[in-house]
Structure 1
Amino acid sequence: MKEKIGERINNLQKEVVSLGLDAAVIKDRENLIYFVGVEDLECGSLIVPAKGEAVLFCLWLDANHVREVSGIKNVIPYMFPKENISKKTAEYIAQMGINEPKVGFTRYFIDLQDFLWLHRLVPKIHVKDIGGVCYKLRSVKDQEEIDYIRKAAGFLQYGMKAAVDALKPNVKETDILAEADYAMRKAGSEGATFKMQVLRHDRQMLVHPYAGNYIIENNQPVVVHLGSSYKGYTAKMCRTIFLGNVDKETVKIYNILIKAQEIAVNNLVPGVKTSEIYDAVYRYIDDQGYGKTFIDYIGYGVGIRQSEFYPIIGKNLDHIIEENMVVDVLLPTLYKPKVGGPRITDTILVKKNSCEYLTSFDRNPIVKNF
């Protein structure tokens, strides 16, 4: 692990130099897992300078553990609440002695306290978003990462089976999800990294819905989208279950999505642009008469985060697929009012000459009659 962490930090340092930055600051949990190798590190800050060794600030109780696991030499503990991570980070950047330092931060993961301390101690700082850089560095998985994702993926079949078994009319979405989550937890999952979905039909064309206190009725499709994790790495899977007599066009749409997923996986080979995968899928969807109801993104990288932003499989994107990338396919439904909504998603490992479904559950329409 220590050698691996050193290599990851070195790769980030090369990007810092390439971007003309003086340093990168990593504070978010997912990138700390990747660049430090500790999945239970909170309130930490990894600073990677353009020259010299990285330094990690963490709570004093975690310091010995972090040194042992990561191999990072410069682990500096701090005492909370007398000290805080935002001030320690800003102080370090100020002490670099650069008048107008250029520093990269991962997007979404700098809070108000970070900003206030930087503004106070480093008023001439220039910041740059390195979120995309980090996602790209994380996109090709090593064997240990693949093993962790495969382990997480294995838990999903227990959750999906529990959801299918429990699904019936006149129960709440959250009741079904509780059964699924319990089954996955018993199997060994450390929990989902996103808000999971059990969705009755009228909620399936929302962008980011999740299971709520909504009653499921008979004669409708129900989307079940589950996530699990292991050692900080995640997997996800989505299926659609049909209760009773469902509109024939809705069933047709699900079968079209099954075929579209097969087309995507068949085109998911090292060296291909993700736009080429999307185009192959779109041509099929359009030939079926649903081109105008199809969205622009159909898959994302999967790793520490359930939807990593490299690679993205989508329209006009030149992200390049490489061996040992892990992605989810097929994300969207067909957005046709009243009949659209079914979804199917699997976690896929890209191999040299083929792909492997890491998630395993029947992909055909599942019908339950009451």
Structure 2
Amino acid sequence: MNADYEGRTRACQHALSPQECLVLFPGPNCQYLTGFRDDPMERHLLLFVPREGEPTFLAPAMYAEQLAETWVSDIRLWDDGEDPREHIEAIFSTLDPDRLLVDDRLWARFTQDLRAATDAEFGLASEALADLRIRKDEAEIDAIRRASRLADRVSEEVRTLDFTGVTERDLAREIDSRLADVGGEGPSFETIVASGANGARPHHRHGDREIEAGDPVVLDFGTRLDGYPSDQTRTVVRGGPPEGFEDVHDAVREAQQAAVEAVEPGVPAEAVDRAAREVIERAGYGEEFTHRTGHGVGIEVHEPPYIVEGNTRELESEMVFSVEPGIYLEGRFGVRIEDLVVVTAEGGERLNDSPRGWRPRAPAGR
């Protein structure tokens, strides 16, 4: 991924006040500024970003090679057997911060070690990073676009499968396998295969229920490329659908189209939610649309901007978010249709283009 990590960091530093210092650990914020990707662990691995000067990595010695691949040159390593808290005190003795903006997800044990090493006030890293991350640069949009194309390919392939008699869990495994086969870096999140009445639960994952002929099946999945996710949902039926299903599917599809058409710079996020909700309310299913219309997508699958009533934040070019209205009839079935959309000067550009109808293609070989 050809990202300007140093440029992002300098922009972040510019957003800090004098004597403020950002403290991050492995996760989305650290990846955004440096390109370093890893999971948090019990060892101290921290990134210090002061208002002035160069950022500093404090890390276990075993990470020397990985961190050397980042643009950060000041890397202070500690060996097992050493006390990393002494290094934290040494860094603070040089920086002398008045205020620390710590990673919003920083583990409590590391926060306590920071508190013991400084008298600085504490805040959250999102104060400096939220407005930077909410708009995607060219490299980020390209990665999400390519990941979306891979999800589309698998979505079209799944439509050719005869999954009658297959369990939700086995179909989810098949989807994950196909995402890897087309070049994805693993699922963006735990793949959702929700059949029949399970589809009325918006975040049902998958279970051992066998999919029956005529079951509406909600398929919600994505993959990652260069660390960035895709996220799309389709609802399909193999066999004759249950009574009322086609009307519900038509309403959701119309609502999604209305929401996408409402996207343009300067429009409040809540207006997109309202556009979808009004269609579903007119169809008589307002009480069955139980979640927001969308969420931002970037390094994280769920991040700002949230497309929900009450969010008056105006949309800006290069924001990326999902548009995913749904109707959920308890004990019967659910329908959700989701695409990722990027805001452009002309409006909302869909990043997904797989079929949105409910009818599958004929199974391969038939």
**Distance in 2 between residues matched to 1:68 and 1:259, nearest whole Å:** 47
Aligned-partner Cα distance in 1 for 2:362–2:145:
33
Asked whether the equivalents of residues 265 and 329 of structure 1 are also in contact (C-alpha less than 8 Å), the reply is yes
Deviations 1:61-86 (CA, angstroms, capped at 9, x unpaired): 4435534442x23222233x33477x
CA contact (8 A) 2:176 2:191 kept: no
| Structure 1 residues 191 and 89, CA gap change in structure 2 (3 angstroms) | farther
Q: How many residues align?
A: 360
Residue of structure 2 in register with 1:311 after alignment: 305
2:81 is equivalent to residue 82 of structure 1: yes
Residue identity in the other structure for 2:101: G
Say which is worse superposed, 155-164 or 183-192, in terms of deviation.
Answer: 155-164
Q: CA deviation at 1:234?
A: 0.9
SS of match in other structure, 1:215 = coil
Q: In structure 2, what is the Cα distance between the partners aligned to 1:252 and 1:113?
A: 53
Deviation string for 1:219-266 (max 9, x for gaps)? 221111111011111111110111323223232212111111111111
Tell me the equivalent position of 2:31.
33
Distance 1:323 1:314 in 2: 18
Find out whether 1:110 has 2:106 as its counterpart.
yes
Call closer, same or farther: CA 1:363–1:12 in 2, change over 3 Å.
Answer: same
Q: Distance in 1 between matches of 2:355 and 2:35?
A: 35
1:357 deviation in Å? 2.0
- What's the counterpart of residue 366 of structure 1? 359
Show the counterpart of 1:342.
Answer: 335
Closer, same or farther: CA 175–89 of 1 in aligned 2, 3 Å: farther
Question: Residue type matched to 1:317 in 2?
Answer: N
DSSP 3-state at the match of 2:328 = coil
Kindly state the Cα deviation for residue 16 of structure 1 after the two structures are TM-superposed.
2.6
Distance 2:239 2:257 in 1: 27
Shift of 1:344: 0.9
Measure, in 2, the Cα distance between the counterparts of 1:355 and 1:159.
23
Question: Could you tell me how far 1:268 is from its partner in structure 2?
Answer: 0.9
* Counterpart residue number, 2:246: 251
Contact 1:13 1:48 in 2 (8 A): yes
Secondary structure of 2:223's counterpart equals strand
Q: Partners in 2 of 1:119 and 1:132 — Cα distance?
A: 19
The 3 A distance-change label for structure 1 pair 35 and 156 is: same
Amino acid at match of 1:199: A
2-side partners of 1:225 and 1:359: how far apart? 13
Structure 1 counterpart of 2:272, which letter?
Answer: I
Cross-structure match for 1:356: 349
| Distance of 1:189 and 1:112 partners within structure 2 | 33
Contact between 1:197 and 1:223, CA under 8 Å: does it hold in 2? yes
Match of 1:13 in 2: 13
| One-letter amino acid matched to 1:158 | R
Please state whether the residue corresponding to 2:335 is helix, strand or coil: coil
Report the Cα distance in structure 1 between the residues aligned to 2:272 and 2:252, rounded to whole angstroms: 14
Q: Is the 8 A contact 2:236 2:357 kept in 1?
A: no
Helix, strand or coil at the partner of 1:166:
coil
Aligned-partner residue type, residue 136 of structure 1: D
Superposed CA RMSD in Å reads: 2.8
Change in Cα spacing, 1:62 to 1:126, as seen in structure 2 (3 Å) is: same
Percent of aligned positions that are identical = 24
Question: 1:212 matched to which residue of 2?
Answer: 207
Relative to structure 1, is the Cα distance of residues 269 and 3 closer, same or farther in structure 2, using a 3 angstrom cutoff? closer
- TM-score when normalising by structure 1: 0.87
**Structure 2 letter corresponding to 1:50:** R
Cross-structure match for 2:271: 276
Give 1:139's aligned residue: 134
User: Mapping of 1:16-165 within 5 angstroms?
Assistant: 16-17=16-17, 22-39=20-37, 44-70=45-71, 72-79=72-79, 81-83=80-82, 87=85, 90-91=88-89, 94-96=92-94, 98=96, 101-107=98-104, 109-122=105-118, 124-131=119-126, 133-165=128-160
The CA distance in 1 between the partners of 2:70 and 2:283, in whole Å, is 53
CA displacement, residues 37-71 of structure 1 (integer Å, 9 cap, x when unaligned): 2345866422112333221223434435534442x
Give, in angstroms, the shift of residue 115 of structure 1. 3.3
- CA-to-aligned-CA distance 1:325-356 (integer Å, 9 cap, x gap): 221111x4223323451111111222221332
TM-score (norm 2): 0.88
Q: Quote how far apart the aligned CAs of 1:297 are.
A: 1.4
Do the aligned partners of 1:244 and 1:368 also contact (CA within 8 Å) in 2? no
- Aligned CA distance change for structure 1 residues 39 and 223 (closer, same or farther; 3 Å): same
Letter of the structure 2 residue corresponding to residue 181 of structure 1:
D
Q: Report if the CA contact (8 A) 2:318-2:344 is conserved.
A: yes
Whether 1:290 and 2:277 are equivalent positions in the alignment is: no
Flag the 1:50–1:97 CA change in 2: closer, same or farther, 3 A.
closer
User: Which has the larger displacement, 1-10 or 196-205?
Assistant: 1-10
Q: Aligned with 1:366: secondary structure?
A: coil
Which amino acid is 1:82 matched to?
Answer: G
**Contact 1:140–1:324 (CA<8 Å) still a contact in 2?**
yes
